[in-house]
Amino acid sequence: MNSYAVFLRGINVGGINIKMADLKNALASQGFAEVKTLLASGNVVLASDEDPAAVKRTFEKCLRDAFGYDAWVVILTAQRVSELVAACPYPADDRATHAYITLASDTAMLDELDAAGAALDGTEQKRLGPEALAWLAPAGGTLDSPFSKISSKARFKATTTTRNLRTLIKVRDAATALA
């Protein structure tokens, strides 16, 4: 079995409310094993014999059929989540800043977001791979940061989702425990 981390956009923060117990049960009924939800904000780890593309299709179909939620998800292997956490140059616990990683299902959109962020004065960011971009925001000012304002535009919302580094560490640990 392969161990995967699945990241949903907008669950329980963007008007789409899904009980994590219901999500877990729906996913288990689709044949996924060892399904665990983390932090009630669209983070799931699970085991499957399927490849990432098949997991994505089944997961998204389950969301549509069980919850009427026509969403996309980002699927990463447990190994890839570990690599992204290790590659992030920013600290997980800093009093002055918060580290975030934006994940994307569309590389071209992340390329565009990366370029837009790089054009901002004082924005600190680092591309971690084709599907991930790390960035810093001032503590207590994440939503007001210039990069956050750009990344929350409708253009990017459909294909990106952001997690703070502490959350990614928890997801990494949970996904690795399945492997």
Sheet holding 160-164, edge to edge: 125-129, 132-138, 97-104, 160-164
Kindly state whether residues 49 and 134 are assigned to the same domain. no
Domain enclosing residue 138, as ranges: 81-177
Kindly state whether residues 158 and 85 are assigned to the same domain. yes
Q: In the chain, what percentage of residues exceed pLDDT 90?
A: 69
Strand-pair partners of 118: none
Kindly state whether residues 42 and 101 are assigned to the same domain. no
Kindly state whether residues 102 and 172 are assigned to the same domain. yes
Kindly state whether residues 70 and 85 are assigned to the same domain. no
Kindly state whether residues 107 and 157 are assigned to the same domain. yes
**Among candidate residues 58, 78, 98, the one where a domain is terminated:** 78
Kindly state whether residues 17 and 85 are assigned to the same domain. no
| CA–CA separation, 161 and 142 (whole Å) | 14
The pTM score is 0.92
15 pLDDT above the threshold of 70? no
**Among candidate residues 37, 63, 78, the one where a domain is terminated:** 78
pLDDT at 141: 85
Contact call for residues 135 and 147 (beta carbons, < 8 A): yes
Kindly state whether residues 64 and 96 are assigned to the same domain. no
Q: What is the CATH number of the domain that holds 102?
A: 3.30.70
Confidence of residue 39 (pLDDT cuts 50, 70, 90): confident
* Residues recorded for the chain: 179
Kindly state whether residues 60 and 92 are assigned to the same domain. no
Helix ranges (H only) for 18-164 are 20-28, 52-67, 78-87, 107-118, 146-151, 154-157
Kindly state whether residues 91 and 58 are assigned to the same domain. no
14 pLDDT above the threshold of 70? no
- Residues whose CB is less than 8 angstroms from the CB of residue 149 and which lie 6 or more positions away in sequence, other chains included: none
Exposure b/e, 64-97, CB count within 10 A at least 16 = b: eebbebebbbbbbbbebbbbbbeebebeeeeeeb
**β-pair type (2-8, 97-104):** unpaired
* Average confidence (pLDDT) over 75-92: 96
Kindly state whether residues 68 and 91 are assigned to the same domain. no
* Average confidence (pLDDT) over 129-154: 90
**Among candidate residues 62, 78, 94, the one where a domain is terminated:** 78
Kindly state whether residues 98 and 40 are assigned to the same domain. no
Q: What angle do CA 38, 39, 43 make, to 5 degrees?
A: 50
Q: What is the CATH number of the domain that holds 56?
A: 3.30.70.1280
- How many domains would you assign to the chain? 2
For residue 179 the two structure tokens come to 């492997």
pLDDT at 6: 96
